[in-house]
Structures are given as C-alpha cells and as structure tokens.
C-alpha cells in the first residue's frame, strides 16, 4: 500500500509540474502575440474592419504587393486603393479580428479574419518601418478556405 501511495504522489507532482509548465508557456505565447499586436497601427485595423480603402491606402508604401482574391501584382498606392475600394464595395465588411502577429527581422506581420456580408476572408499584411513610420509593404486578402 505504501508503494502505491508513493507512486500516486509522484504522478501527482509530475502532473502538477506539467500543467504549470503548459500554462506558463501559453501565457508567454499570448503575451508575445499581444506585444506585436500593440505595435500595429490602430488605423490599419479600423480601416479594414470598416472597409475604408482611402484610409488604409495612407499606410501603403508608394508601391505595394497586393493580392486580392485573383488579382495579384505590384501596384501603385493609387491603383491599390481603387482595387481595395472595389473589393470592399462588393464584400461589405462586418468584422475584422487579428488572430496572429509576429516579427521577422525588420518586419512586423499580422494575420486576421475579415467577415463580410457574403463571405469570410483571410487577411495577411506585412509592415516595414522607414523613418520611424510603418508602411504596409504587402497585403493579401484570400478566401478563408483556401
């Protein structure tokens, strides 16, 4: 009987340590994700959520790699604004949420879910900083299930 109590205590302590390690890892991941999310200009998130192509274009570099469903190319800021305005007219946004953010070298990226009146889209954008100002260098909007 003493042997079983010893084993039971061992597994309980080991199990507790495993649970604590898991929770600590989860909280560090969440804190890191929120850290990068706080560095994304609020105007970008709001303009995607409301379908405001004009405000969103203010964050574009002079040329931007833009992928919107089947349209893929490097466009001028003005061309990209027209394409996005058309997209937002055809797919009226109802909600946008950032689901993941990260940092790579001198870039910050975000992945989000854009819900519209007719569909759900995955949004990805890559931000670069130049002269202490963040610019969107790449923007992708694709169907969620692709």
CATH code of the domain in which 63 resides: 3.10.450.50
Cα–Cα distances in Å, from 53 out to 25, 41, 57, 72, 132? 38, 15, 6, 17, 23
Q: Are residues 4 and 74 both part of a single domain?
A: no
- Same-domain check for residues 78 and 16: no
> Domain check: are 76 and 52 in the same one?
yes
CB 121 within 8 A of CB 96: no
Quick one: 87 and 119 in the same domain? yes
What mean pLDDT comes out for the span 96-104?
Answer: 93
Distances (CA, A) of 113 to 15, 60, 69, 77, 80: 36, 20, 14, 23, 20
Percent of the chain with pLDDT over 70: 73
Residues 54 and 90 in one domain: yes
pTM for the full model? 0.73
The whole-number pLDDT of residue 27 equals 46
- Same domain for 108 and 67, yes or no, is yes
**Same structural domain, 114 and 136:** yes
For the segment 6-55, what is each residue's pLDDT rounded down to a tens digit? Answer: 545 555 555 554 445 544 454 444 444 444 455 789 999 999 999 999 99
Q: What is the mean pLDDT of residues 116-143?
A: 95
Domain that holds residue 110: 41-143
Nearby residues of 85 by Cβ (< 8 Å), 6 or more positions away = 53, 54
pLDDT of residue 82: 98
The answer on 102 and 89 residing in a single domain is yes
- Specify whether 17 is located in the same domain as 54: no
In the prediction, which pLDDT does 1 show?
A: 57
Q: Does residue 8 share a domain with residue 60?
A: no
**Residues 8 and 62 placed together within one structural domain of the fold:** no
Which pLDDT score is estimated for 5? 57
48 and 19 in a common domain: no
DSSP E strands in the chain: the ranges are: 60-68, 71-76, 93-104, 107-116, 120-130, 133-143
Structural domain tally of the chain? 2
pLDDT of residue 29: 45
């Amino acid at each position: 009987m003493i042997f079983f109590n010893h084993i039971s205590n061992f597994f309980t302590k080991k199990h507790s340590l495993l649970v604590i390690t898991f929770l600590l890892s989860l909280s560090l991941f969440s804190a890191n994700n929120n850290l990068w999310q706080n560095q994304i200009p609020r105007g970008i998130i709001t303009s995607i959520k409301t379908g405001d192509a004009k405000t969103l274009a203010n964050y574009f570099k002079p040329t931007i790699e833009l992928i919107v469903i089947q349209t893929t190319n490097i466009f001028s800021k003005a061309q990209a604004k027209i394409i996005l305005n058309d997209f937002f007219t055809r797919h009226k946004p109802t909600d946008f949420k950032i689901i993941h953010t990260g940092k790579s070298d001198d870039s910050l990226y975000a992945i989000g879910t854009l819900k519209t009146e007719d569909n759900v889209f995955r949004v990805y954008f890559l931000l670069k900083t130049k002269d202490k100002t963040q610019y969107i260098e790449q923007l992708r909007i694709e169907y969620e299930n692709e």
